[in-house]
Structure 1
């Protein structure tokens, strides 16, 4: 079986706030290595716990902008929309109020083993980043 990235994103979005653990068990190896700008996690159970924490009172939807794949390595540019249904001063993307929407851009690098992700490297723009316009 091969890894279907677009199905993974569909299932990630569907699991948000209700079934992260099953989604993580389906798409990630038990010995997953996740690296990001603010943490390194070893083991898919820690990724599931982080997603459950991040999605507490938050709806997240990822949209695929670009995907590049070479063999078992894949890179993607994703847009994430987070809508907060409660105040979250402790959210990994920064504090937010109920009703607030944050839109951010992610780069993700994936290593695939069989039909699962074994390594995930994440980087993102802070939600507060503003566009820079050249002077006229």
Structure 2
């Protein structure tokens, strides 16, 4: 079965989308590749894509992310050239997700003990505040 996946790089990664595309072009895999501003879109047989993804992720395990895509590159249901231009449906979601990737990359790359998140202080209830004020006046 043919599948399509996004390979998205974190903006803090040393690996560029063009580096990934060149690695795929030079590989033994028979896949379709489309380079984008945030990574590449790869389309091919499931076993081939999964093997290729393993190789690509090994370049920067904490900075390269994989996302499933429901349509192959150039599909008329998603191709903006056939829809009259504009952003592809889903582009804004990928753009929003890409903004979070640097934080996720840093967390994945971090080693050692992760400090616990401090417990949030509960707000002071009005009646407790009144009691404190009264005690201060007496």
- Which bin holds the TM-score, normalised by the shorter protein? under 0.3
When the two structures are superposed, what TM-score results if normalisation uses the length of structure 2?
A: 0.23
Higher fraction of helix: 2
Of Structure 1 and Structure 2, the greater strand share is in 1
Name the TM-score, length of structure 1 as normaliser: 0.23
